[in-house]
Structure 1
Amino acid sequence: MSTEIVRLLAQMTETWNAGDSAGYAGLFTEDVDYVTFFGLHLKGREAVEETHRELFKTSIKLGESDGEPQIRRLTDDVAFVVAGGTSSVNGKPDPSRTSVVTMTALRTPEGWRFASFHNTRVSRP
């Protein structure tokens, strides 16, 4: 299970950096709850694709992750995932864009997909 979820995370980075909004959205369940770092709640795969189609026209790319993701199995078909990293803008890492992301991974007939996604910017209190 962990290998498949790590592969799913790698596909997130690949599709994001390729600007592939349909491929990116396809990594989520049809009814995903997706919350951006600024609090926008997208409901469903279609909304994720539509929103990212515009976002992917920018120069924002996902960079290296902050170590191994934490994957906690809740059942045989559900896992809680915590991952993080820093994005780059115009090819340069931007520490102000460091985020931690929490996700719920769900085994579906299509394979593992993310049923929830919540991105939070890392900052000091």
Structure 2
Amino acid sequence: MTQSAAVRAVLDRLVEAWNDGDATAYADCFTEDADYVTFFGLNTPGRAAIEAGHRALFEGPLKGSKLTGTGEPPKIRFVRDDVAIAVAGGGSSLDGEPDPERASTVTYVLVREPDAWRVASFQNTRRTPVPGRPA
């Protein structure tokens, strides 16, 4: 498997775990000391906190939610052999229908650990219209 394919596989596992409502599998995609920055700026540091926070979300307000993609592959750039930056578009759906108000651009910093590639940093930015520009 190429390095790009290995990074894409991590991003695919994140989506699969989210769509399954599996907080443990979702958190396993992150390093022990990862930073997870939400679209509203909250930083959840560490795999254990990422798992606990997502467990609460998957059992509560985001139960049954699904991640949606843009259909375009993520942009992946290797800054070193063991460090990659991926930028991907997507969003989430609470009722099975795409919700443009939940569209985001997500930036990932991934590192190759001895057993797997994992996300060391995650930044979710909610897309909003640019004032004065057509949508």
How high is the TM-score relative to the length of structure 2? 0.89
* 3-state SS, counterpart of residue 90 of structure 1: coil
Structure-2 separation of matches of 1:91 and 1:19: 14
1:109 aligned onto 2:109? no
Distance 1:119 1:66 in 2: 18
Q: Once superposed, which parts of structure 1, at least 4 consecutive aligned residues long, lie more than 6 Å away?
A: none
TM-aligned CA deviation for residue 92 of structure 1: 1.2
Q: How does 1:113-124 map to 2 (within 5 A)?
A: 113-124=118-129
Distance 2:15 2:9 in 1: 10
TM-superposed deviation, 1:63: 1.3
Name which of 46, 49, 70 aligns with 1:47. 49
Partner of 1:99: 104
Gaps of 5+ in 1: none
State whether structure 2 residue 92 is matched by structure 1 residue 87.
yes
Equivalenced residue count is 125
Deviates more, 1:8-17 or 1:63-72: 63-72
Gaps of 5+ in 2: 131-135
Whichever of the two has the greater Rg, that structure is 2
User: Partner of 2:133 in structure 1?
Assistant: none
Q: Which has the higher strand share?
A: 1
Question: Letter of the aligned partner of 2:57 in structure 1?
Answer: L
Quick one: percent identity of the two aligned structures? 50
8 A Cα contact 1:66 1:83, kept in partner: no
**Aligned counterpart in structure 2 of residue 6 of structure 1, from 5, 8, 12:** 8
- In the alignment, what sits opposite 1:69? 74
- Higher mean alpha-carbon deviation, 80-89 vs 19-28, is at 80-89
TM-score by length of 1: 0.96
> 1:70–1:8: structure 2 CA closer, same or farther, 3 Å change rule?
same
RMSD: 1.0
Shift of 1:11: 0.4
